[in-house]
Amino acid sequence: MKQGTQGSAAAGEAAAAAQAGSGRCRVPAQAAAPDPGDGARGRAGAGGGGVRGEHTHGEPAAFSAPRVAVQRSSVRGQVLAALRTALFSGELRPGEVYSAPVLGERFGVSATPVREAMQQLAVEGAVEVVPNRGFRVVERGARELAELAEVRALIEVPVMLRLARAVPAERWAELRPLAEATVRAASSGCRASYAEADRAFHGAVLALGGNEQLVGVAGELHRRAQWPLVGGAGGGRGRGRAELIADAHEHTALLDALIAGDFEVVRVLVGEHFNGAG
């Protein structure tokens, strides 16, 4: 695959992250589930595209904001982005089960795009399918996060160090907008926006090697490492805004060293960045 293709994909992901970070890091609210005896469940099934076997009662009232309908264009993408934000913010809680019809009613869409978005999150390891009920947010612990960080380092660090000597300075300079996008996303305080921008930057760096399979595998590991821990406030290890900003500035410092050809500084910065699982 040509390097330009990967760079364009990374740039598109960074642009989406920047757009997400420009507003509030919120998701449309989910009301408490209706009582099966008051007839509301039938209305939810009709308006929210309910599916036989997916129960909508007994769910946690995870959302508190008023109902906001998403735009009809690219509905699945908007719902997916909103669900990711809810996961990072902790509004969708680890261990809890959520049904597509109830979430669809809160978004003002049918259950179908919600279900499709949840299935994508299942592929990414954020949720798991619960037959006849919906989707459970996966419960993850610190050990799993540490294991993912170790695997990422084994894959990405050698590649970055090799690319540091092989890629000319002007190619590294082209990644400056992606690095700066991570700083803006971190400054916004929205962990979901930062996760997208962070992954786009790392993907663009690896794409310079021209190995599409490596970029895909590393990107999947990176995404899994970003999902919230059990008991955390969301956003990977529950890092605060200051930590996200520090992590983002490591990207710009790394680019400065790569452009200058200071390989010893590059080696130190790459090691420190992955010790922090950034």
Count of domains observed in the chain = 2
- Cα-Cα-Cα-Cα torsion 224, 127, 233, 101, nearest 10 degrees, comes to 140
pLDDT of residue 32: 35
Q: Are residues 145 and 264 in the same domain?
A: yes
What is the mean pLDDT of each successive set of 10 residues along the chain, which is 278 residues long? 45 45 43 37 40 52 52 78 86 91 89 94 92 91 88 94 96 97 93 91 96 95 82 50 91 96 94 75
Q: How far is CA 16 from CA 129, 192, 239, in A?
A: 27, 11, 22
- 145 and 189 both lie in a single domain: yes
pLDDT given at position 10: 47
pLDDT attached to residue 38: 39
| Structure confidence at residue 270 (pLDDT) | 92
How far from the centroid of its chain's Cα atoms is residue 216's Cα?
15
Distances, alpha carbon 216 to alpha carbons 1, 24, 162, 228, 232, in Å: 12, 30, 19, 21, 28
In contact, 188 and 21? CB cutoff 8 Å:
yes
pLDDT on residue 19: 44
Taking the CA of residue 65 as centre, how many other CA atoms within 13 Å lie in the half-sphere pointing to its CB?
14
Q: Which residues contact 234 (CB under 8 A, 6 or more apart)?
A: 87, 88, 89, 90, 91, 191, 228
Q: What's the CATH number where 17 sits?
A: 1.20.120.530
Neighbours of 58 (CB within 10 A): 11
194 lies in a domain?
yes
**Assigned token pair, 129:** 């399918």
CATH number at 129 reads 1.10.10.10
147 shares its domain with 132: no
The pLDDT, as a whole number, for residue 66 is 47
Kindly report the number of other CB atoms within 10 A of residue 37's CB atom: 8
Q: What is the pTM of this model?
A: 0.69
| Rounded Cα distance, 111 and 117, in Å | 10
Whether 130 and 150 share a structural domain: no
Instruction: Kindly give the residue spans of alpha helices, DSSP state H, lying in the chain.
Output: 3-21, 40-48, 75-89, 100-107, 111-123, 142-166, 169-173, 176-188, 191-207, 212-226, 241-260, 263-275
Domain limits at 201? Answer: 3-21+141-275
41: tokens are 């469940």
CA–CA distance, 113 with 33 (Å, rounded to integer): 20
